[in-house]
Amino acid sequence: MNYKEAMQKLKSNKIEKLYLLYGEEIYLAEGFIRYIKKQIVSPGFETLNFHVMDAKDFTMEKFIDACETLPFMAEKKLVLIQNLEVFQSKKKSMTEEEEKSIIAYLEKIPETTCLIFYGSTTIDARKKIVKEIQKHGNLIDFQKLNPKELKEWIEKRIEKAGKKTTRKEIEFFMENIDYVGKNASQSLLDIENEIKKITAYIGEKEVLELHDLENIFTSNFQNDIFKLMNDIEKKQPKEAMKRLNLMLHQGEPIMKIAATLGNHVRNLYKTKLLLEEGYSSKMIASKLSIHPFVAGKCANQCRQFTMIDLEKLLNQFLAMDLAIKSGKMKDSIALELFIMEMCK
């Protein structure tokens, strides 16, 4: 079961007595736990009807006692067990006997208890304990949101903050975050913090506009690389050098700029090849393991170059890289010459 399906069941007042939560999107999992807690545990009764136990403190005696104790002035109590390694195939601290004891107890959980196991990003579905939880309760996989879900989530968060915006601003925002993709570095918590930063920046202003986002993301590295490539494509060496100097002034290392620029040229080359084979930008994003919005921008930008142009740029990059690594040329001079050559 995924997060959306699980939340739909909760909102229909269908709270199960057993859950195993896993997956990489911690923000969603913890939001799910908060929602259940709000439904089950009345304010002021947390110490009596909400029990949290970490793996390091886990014993079968404490576990069964927490589950068997009747709730106080409520229909149910919530028991949250965190960070047990028993759901994964790797070596674990729990003994085989303890694992068997948990398995045997799962079918005996009282109707007055809602038990949640939480803390694993992955589980081994072959394990008996995982199969037994699926039999008696629910396994919920908190995967990262896909681009469409992320867009909707961002729109709701901006609206919740009391701000208005348009599709153009949402798309620009998504281009400047690193959430979607195999190698993405951000979580929903990071994205929420970005939204808080933006709403704080515009203050009492009700409408979030594109120039607000441009001011906030002005130092965004990936965005600067695209702008640098735009200057190169337009054969504007002065503008390209200004962009390079701005990035250096912002503290970006020379070799990081060079490597990212080279990688970007490779992505443009691969994107152009895939476009000619009939791939969509969405398919290209999956094929190259890059952000869908980055793939879209690559698809637009590569149309300004011929295959011969891109092959030439790749060869120039390899020559620059060799000159730097062999010590024949200082990195800053080599990069400047590379950019000037690209602008010809």
Instruction: Summarize pLDDT for 38-90 with one digit per residue, the tens.
Output: 999 999 899 999 999 998 899 999 999 999 999 999 999 999 999 888 898 76
Residue 128 confidence class, pLDDT cut points 50, 70, 90 = very high
Integer angstrom CA distances of residue 171 from 147, 154, 210, 255, 296 = 10, 10, 10, 29, 11
Global pTM exceeds 0.85? no
Q: What confidence tens digit (pLDDT) does each residue in 271-294 have?
A: 999 999 998 887 888 888 877 767
All structural domains of the chain, each given as residue ranges with its CATH number in brackets, are 3-141 (3.40.50.300), 147-216 (1.10.8), 221-342 (1.20.272.10)
Q: What confidence tens digit (pLDDT) does each residue in 89-104 have?
A: 765 677 888 899 999 9
b/e code 57-71 from CB counts within 10 Å (16+ = b): ebeeeebeebbebeb
Query: By three-state DSSP, how is residue 250 classified?
Result: coil
Which amino acid type is present at position 104?
Answer: A
**Degrees to nearest 5, angle at CA 113 with 109 and 115:** 75
**Degrees to nearest 5, angle at CA 224 with 157 and 333:** 155
Closest CA to 225 of 290, 136, 150: 290
DSSP assignment of 151-214: HHHHHHHHHHTT-B--HHHHHHHHHTS--SSTT----HHHHHHHHHHHHHHHTT-SB--HHHHH
Q: Could you say which DSSP state residue 327 is in? A: T
Distance of CA 189 to the CA centre of its chain: 9
